[in-house]
Structure 1
Amino acid sequence: MDNGIHDKLLVPEGKEVSDLKERVYDESKKIWRVALPGIIARVASFGTIIVTQSFIGHISSVDLAGYALVQTLTVRFANGVLIGMSSATETLCGQAYGARQHHMLGVYLQRSWIVDFLTLTLLLPLFIFGAPLFQLLGQEESIARSAGYISWWFIPMIYNFVFTLTMQMYLQAQQKNSIVAWISIAQLIIHVPLSWLFVYYLHWGTDGAMGALCISSCLELWYNSILVLLAGYMSNAEVAISAFSICLNINGWEFMICLGFLGAACVRIANELGRGDAKATRFSIKVLIITSVVIGVFFTIICLVLGNTLGFLFTNDVEVANTVSSLSLLLAISVLLNSIYPVLSGVAVGAGLQGTVAIINLCCFYLIGIPVGALLGYVANLEVKGIWIGMNIGVLTQSLALSYMAWKTDWDEQVKIASERLQRWYLKSSDENGNNGHA
């Protein structure tokens, strides 16, 4: 009799089910230990940007459009570049922790600070010369001037990214990122009354709102940016940019939850590969995807139910709010797609496959999503809806490609590659050097 069949006959069916439940429970605990602090930190941190947008939206519709351009174009671009530059830190720290090479974690963190700081400094002209840049891209002069002024206010905040991104990856790899969550909560709690004080009590207007954002950030994706830029060429650019950016920021806020799972996926996959356990890696991927999709379905339902009222949280302009309402279905679809591809991206980053993910993103977003969005928006006259449909098609294509990649990956081979990678970057600790000298 085949040994596998013989083993199954010896184990009662109820016992197999019980063992599976226990494995899922244990894996879920490991996932949530990393994901929950990451979710809280990202939701609270991104919440300060949402709160600032809400205050500015009730001050001036032009400034709302200007803020939308800066936040979704240059800020997301800079943030996206830094995330990409820091992804190797996430992979190496996760795998080093799994392999118990603890002394290497600080080395990887310090290297990431140097690289990210220099990279961000090279991007600084995008913020210094914001007004002429947006005018060159064809935006309305009043919106471009407002965006250029707001760009200056964002400079202190973007340098904060250098440390917050890398520190979160460093702590996440060790499953010690709860402190980041508490700091982000404190940041949001302080930011709301501070914004009210500066905007309404002291009557500092947009300066007050941006000043509050800079102060609270001391406490603490390029793709969407192009779509907002395209919205700026619509017949009513002010309404189009404002409504689209409101929807993208709601989508982005929910996406912070998904980024928590991305971080958890990266840590769990990196840890298991570092330990040399391919079977545990595959099991973790399954639990991660199922958990994230369930949460995505929940928030999709919320977007459908509250779609008619979301816009008024950010503006008094009825036309903008109605445009947001008309986009609520597309917003719900985006939220659902958010629950899939971040986890798969995290799986790839945990395995050190960033290059493959980058190629998939470029093809799906820039060769499919943006051209389809531009075609539907301008040729088919669907305007903002057409742009967003194109965006969702790009994300759907990306999700399918990443799913195929995860399915076809030989995780036993990835275990060997992870071991070779860690040995290549390994430096002996002081204890090891001391022992060798004594010998």
Structure 2
Amino acid sequence: MESEEDRNVVNVRLSESLLAAEERERFWRKVWIESKQLWKIVGPSIFSRVAMYTMNVVTQAFAGHLGDVDLAAISIANNVIVGFNFGLLLGMASALETLCGQAFGANKYDMLGIYMQRCWIVQFLCCFLLLPFYILATPILKLLGQSDDVAEQCGVVSLWLIPLHFSFAFQFPLLRFLQCQGKAWVMAWVSVVGLVVNVLSCYVLVYVWDLGLVGAAISLDISWWLLVLAGYGYMVCGGCPLTWTGYSMQAFSGLWDFFKLSAASGIMLCLENWYYRILILMTGHWKDATIVVDALSICMTISGWEMMIPLAFFAGAGVANELGGGNGKGAKFATQVSVGESTVIGALFCLIIILFCDQFAYIFTSTSDVVQVVHQMAYLLALTILFNSVQPVLSGVAVGLGWQARVAYINIGCYYIIGLPLGILMGWVFNLGVKGMWGGMILGGTAIQTAILVIITARCDWDKEHPTVGTDRGNRFAPTQPGGTGINSPASPSRNGLYLSWRLRKSLDNNPRPWKPSRVIGEEVPESEGSSGDDVVKGEKALEGDGGTARAVKSVHERVYAGTRKKVGTMADGEDGDDSGFRWRGGEGVSGGAEDGDANGRRVAFGGESGCDY
């Protein structure tokens, strides 16, 4: 007979089992809810990115069946010449994610259109500066060791891809403009139409009209400009009544500052985007270079195709959203869900590559030698896809945590100080060829970078983190106004220096960030209480200054201001701004020293004879 003690043990174990089952059910319910929210946002973006990238894949596939030299030429033109400029312009357009997100969240809807026009101007000028890469493609490729036949063909194709190059200057800002309003689905449907047109035009131009590589290039030009015109038509024909109010001369102001911000974003993306493209350029020095270039380009195209999925996960925005609401555990959970689902997708593609390693190359070529080399590289491709399913998501999380500079240093160190030299060592010194170089770049670059990101993310103290995206550079452009309705006004502290997209802004309004009052003006802050940053005085007394503010930071919420001293009795024109870069016109400036500043120690002239606090 069972004793009372045995029955108690059984009851305890049963209770523990029930609690564990309930906890598991609660956990998977949370995963399901988070996944639904995630895919509502990333679904249209993934669809759009994959469809647009598929246009390049289709063009390369049509050209590949013309011959080995044709495949090598279109591959280098797409992956190197266009890819080099694509990465730079795409990265530069990402500045709009910060600026348009802030403007939309502050209800300054008209500023979205102005920011986009400003981005158009900057990117259009940059396109002219990048034209030599297209015009001089042949001599550049010959200098880098590519064969004469491939270099000559690639030079011809590159000239015909110049219209595609200029379409990026309009398409990328337009895409960011729509995404910040939660209208990514517009470009998703437009991308489907563009893809259909690309397939049909490619077939007609390449095979029916027998234009060869030139026809393939023209089909890309037509498809991408169709995307631009369709998106532009939606915008001006009433699709964005609040954010598009027509062309404005304000777009020509602040171009240099905008260029510096967008160039910094572009270079960060390029450090990663150019890494494996260097591999294609360096294959020209090996035996049977045309075959190797063809095979490697096919692998890079497949890898880039799959990478559109993790790049569209917007994990950084989700993390910033949770941290903005003071929910560190929620940010951690959003990271786990994003990384987990992206890894599952990457593992699925990895398995597909391994299972069909001797077949997928026939999409691009019918040459058995190229197919055989692709088959030999398939396992390296699968490994690259697996790492690339994790790394972009973790990079996005790092951005949401405000670790941009840290990630930039990690990228430089892993890719160009460790990965590239190791690849060259294995490829040439150990005579392992292109597979050795690729393997070295994976192990020395991508694998180490992913491991470092996993470690620093796992060790992150989520409750102490703070979304700092846009706190410095973004605020220089952020719209604000007297009376406390701007992004950076004390009346709206939950939006202070925080970049969020439309959906995240909406969520943040319902879950405001905790805010604490400023410290006493001019108070000395110990070094242990300071923090890093260009606008921070650490361990020193905050000093008064003319036309600006010296300030110290105690924590992520508490700032010490000495007071912004405005010139007394002079016009507060566009050059007489405060430390954050906000410039106001009209009215006479009044003294805004520490003795009569507001809680933030700032006072600015606006539209009258006396300044007003903001």
Same fold (TM over 0.5): yes
Paired residues for 1:35-74 under 5 Å: 35-74=42-81
What residue number does 2:446 align with?
395
Q: Which residue of 2 aligns with 1:368?
A: 418
Contact 2:402–2:466 under 8 Å retained in 1? no
Q: CA deviation at 1:357?
A: 2.2
CA contact (8 A) 1:117 1:162 kept: yes
**Residues 352, 152 of structure 1: alpha-carbon distance in 2 compared, 3 angstrom cutoff:** farther
* CA spacing shift, 1:147–1:352, aligned 2, 3 Å: farther
Note the alpha carbon deviations across 1:241-295, whole angstroms, 9 max, x for none: 111001110111111122222xx21332343344454332222111100110011
Deviation, structure 1 residue 16: 4.0
3-state SS of 1:415 partner? coil
Q: 1:419 to 1:26 in 2, by over 3 A?
A: farther
Match of 1:252 among 299, 304, 319: 304
SS at match of 1:417: coil
Partner of residue 171, structure 2: 164
Question: CA separation of 1:93/1:349 partners in 2, compared to 1, >3 Å: closer, same or farther?
Answer: farther
- Counterpart of 1:113 (choices 103, 110, 120) is 120
Q: Given that residues 95 and 273 in structure 1 are in contact (C-alpha distance below 8 angstroms), is that contact kept between their aligned partners in structure 2?
A: no
Matched residue SS, 1:28: helix
Q: In the aligned structure 2, how far is the partner of 1:88 from the partner of 1:354?
A: 13
Task: Find the residue that maps to 2:210 and give its secondary structure.
Answer: coil
Q: Which stretch of structure 1 is more off in the superposition, 290-299 or 424-433?
A: 424-433
Which of the numbers 206, 228, 232 marks the counterpart of 2:213? Answer: 206
**Amino acid corresponding to residue 379 of structure 2 in structure 1:** L
Contact 1:95 1:271 in 2 (8 A): no
Gaps of 5+ in 2: 1-15, 228-272, 487-605
Q: Are 1:407 and 2:458 counterparts?
A: yes
Consecutive unaligned residues of structure 1, counting only runs of 5 or more, are: 1-8
Which residue of structure 2 aligns with residue 188 of structure 1? 195
Query: How many angstroms apart in 2 are the aligned matches of 1:243 and 1:164?
Result: 30
Q: CA deviation at 1:432?
A: 7.1
Q: 1:353 to 1:116 in 2, by over 3 A?
A: farther
Displacement of 1:178: 1.0
SS of structure 2 residue aligned to 1:218: helix
Q: Give SS of 1:401's match.
A: helix
What corresponds to 1:31 in structure 2? 38
Q: What RMSD in Å do the two structures reach over aligned CA positions?
A: 3.0
Q: Distance in 1 between matches of 2:116 and 2:405?
A: 21
| Alpha-carbon distance, 1:437 to partner | 8.1
> Aligned ranges for residues 136-175 of structure 1 at < 5 Å?
136-175=143-182
Aligned-residue offset at 1:57: 1.2
Q: Comparing 355-364 with 35-44, which one deviates more in the overlay?
A: 355-364
Matched with 1:4 is none
* TM-aligned CA deviation for residue 215 of structure 1: 0.6
Q: Partners in 1 of 2:133 and 2:43 — Cα distance?
A: 34
1:350-369 mapped onto 2 (5 Å cutoff): 350-369=400-419
What letter is aligned with 1:397? I
Task: Tell me, yes or no, if the aligned pair for 1:278 and 1:415 is still in contact at 8 Å.
Answer: no
Question: What is the identity, as a one-letter code, of the residue corresponding to 1:376?
Answer: M
Is 2:343 the counterpart of 1:343?
A: no
User: Over residues 70-104 of structure 1, what are the superposed CA-to-partner deviations in whole Å (9 max), with x where a residue is unaligned?
Assistant: 22212211122123323333345456666777665
Give the Cα–Cα distance (whole angstroms) in 2 for the partners of residues 51 and 360 of structure 1.
34
Q: Which amino acid aligns with 1:78?
A: N
Matched with 1:5 is none
Paired residue secondary structure (2:204): helix
Higher alpha-carbon deviation: 400-409 or 249-258: 400-409
Q: Distance in 1 between matches of 2:224 and 2:154?
A: 20
Structure 1 CA distance for aligned equivalents of residues 143 and 291 of structure 2: 21
Which of residues 266, 276, 301 is equivalent to 2:316? 266
State the partner residue of 2:139. 132
Are 2:124 and 2:166, in contact at CA under 8 Å, matched by a contact in 1? yes
Q: CA deviation at 1:175?
A: 3.3
Alignment partners' CA distance in 2, 1:56 and 1:246 = 12
TM-score normalised by structure 2 residue count: 0.64
Q: Given residue 294 of structure 1, which amino acid in structure 2 is its aligned partner?
A: V
2 CA distance for matches of 1:230 and 1:17? 51
| Aligned-residue offset at 1:429 | 6.3
Structure number with larger C-alpha Rg: 2
- 2:283 paired residue among 231, 236, 239: 231
Aligned to 1:6: none
Structure 1 position 288 matched with structure 2 position 288: no
How many angstroms apart in 1 are the aligned matches of 2:105 and 2:41?
14
Provide the C-alpha distance between the structure 1 equivalents of 2:394 and 2:223, rounded to a whole number of angstroms.
32
Q: Which position in structure 2 is the counterpart of 1:88?
A: 95
Q: Letter of the aligned partner of 2:129 in structure 1?
A: L
Question: 1:69·1:228 contact (CA, 8 Å) conserved in 2?
Answer: yes
Q: Higher mean Cα deviation, 194-203 or 269-278? A: 269-278
Identify which range, 98-107 or 215-224, moves more after superposition. Answer: 98-107
Cα 1:367–1:433 change in 2 (3 A) is closer
How high is the sequence identity, in percent, across the aligned residues? 40
Structure having the larger proportion of residues in helix: 1
* Contact persistence 2:426–2:440 (CA under 8 A): yes
Aligned letter for 2:339? Answer: I
What does the per-residue CA deviation read over 1:115-162, in whole Å, with 9 as the maximum and x for residues that have no partner?
A: 333333221211111111111222211111111111112211122222
SS at match of 1:183: helix
Q: Return the TM-score normalized by structure 1.
A: 0.88
Give yes or no for contact 2:62–2:202 (8 Å, CA) kept in 1: yes
8 A contact 2:320–2:467 mirrored in 1: no
Q: Determine the C-alpha separation between the residues in 2 that align with 1:165 and 1:353.
A: 24
